[in-house]
Homo-oligomer: A and B are copies of this chain.
């Protein structure tokens, strides 16, 4: 049965049945939350032993003799730099480990562009307009940074292998006010897309009207695989930029927020030697240094890239069944509706595409029934999803039984909103 082929009478009958089902969901008084990509309690428990790695009796000196309890060291203790470098495909010498938030490092770097400019180029505040390429659907907090700083966002369609590169190349080449692009290259937020080697190569080598154009390479999910044997590994943007003669074009970011504890993890930036030198000199005015005890805690707990990979398998064992259940319920419940969704191999989200004009209504219906989803539109610049189709599903936080309940409600809401939309045509 395809919804598109139903007669008006059949749609009306279906609507009545769905409204009855929806009323039953509403009557349950649910209060479930799938809004954000937060780890569940069982995932957080995986990292509890880390809290014992630094205590009153442990050695609190870094390998270079730095007393991690005192002031000093702007760019991270050597062993923390090495650990983060190992998951960022980078030389540890050109990695800075800072505080608990990679988003904060990204914000600081965009604001540095605005206030000071990069590597001798004019500060953006002196220019009439600044614009940014925003592959969409994308990460709402990236877009919020641009919006707050008054940077004009240009949405570009995401494909299964990264942003539409014809569009990206056209925009970057033609407009010197375009200073950057947001990329979540591996298990993209929210679509789960993995950038192809070809996309990485084209981003690195494309002609940019702005000499100070920067690729903000937010590799938030670099070690966040869901299924053994299906691990993605995106090509190294640094190597690609160097190979094409644009060694300063990228900033790479990563954090342990979804490895250990969100909010109490460590975050890092990797870049060219020139960019790293500039970052250090500017951040050195901003703070006296970051939490080295927490860096030490992470190194003692995770060890190296192998230790990190083993730890991530434990996360996958907890969350892959959640992804599987969501995908199964969408598959079983939405046959014929005409909706589509991503089937990611990693990351934190499933990206749902409903019929045109139904996303806002679906999220509102779910909310009314006690199930909070990410706001419809949040995945687009200015919260403006032009076709009102995309909903980000975040399966990790609720326990399995709650997730099942929430998805039952969601499936019902999708169907009801779809029928309503078809009847309104």
Contact = CB atoms under 8 A, between A and B. Distances in A.
Contact of A115 (B52, B67, B114): B114
A100 B103 contact: no
Interface string A236-274: 000000000000000000000100011110000000000
B52 A101 contact: no
A262 B48 contact: no
Contacts of A115: 111, 114-115, 125, 149
A285 B148 contact: yes
A114 B114 CA distance: 10
A106 to B, nearest CB: 9
Contacts of A44: 67, 69-70
A8 interface: no
Given A103-B287, A148-B285, A262 B70 contact: yes
Copies of this protein chain in the complex:
2
A287 B104 contact: yes
Contacts of A286: 103-104, 107-108, 145
Given A51-B55, A115-B149, A141 B288 contact: yes
Contacts of A39: 70
Contacts of A293: 51, 261, 263-264
Contacts of A72: 38, 263
A144 interface: yes
A262 B285 contact: no
A282 B148 contact: yes
Interface in A43-57: 44, 47-49, 51-52, 54-56
A103 B282 CA distance: 13
Contacts of A285: 107, 141, 144-145, 147-148
B67 A56 contact: no
A111 B263 CA distance: 23
A289 interface: yes
A99 interface: yes
A255 to B, nearest CB: 10
Interface string A52-79: 1011101000000001111111000000
Interface of A: 36, 38-39, 41, 44, 47-49, 51-52, 54-56, 58, 67-73, 99-101, 103-104, 107-108, 111, 114-116, 125, 141, 144-145, 147-149, 257, 261-264, 282, 285-294
24 contacts: A68-B263, A69-B262, A69-B263, A69-B264, A70-B263, A71-B257, A71-B262, A73-B263, A101-B288, A103-B286, A103-B288, A107-B285, A108-B286, A111-B111, A116-B148, A141-B285, A145-B285, A148-B285, A263-B288, A263-B289, A264-B291, A264-B292, A291-B291, A291-B294
Give the 9 A-B CB pairs with smallest separation, nearest first.
A48-B56, A71-B262, A104-B287, A264-B293, A101-B287, A44-B69, A107-B286, A125-B125, A148-B285
Given A68-B263, A104-B286, A263-B290, 9 more contacts: A36-B71, A44-B70, A51-B55, A99-B99, A101-B288, A108-B286, A114-B125, A116-B148, A264-B293
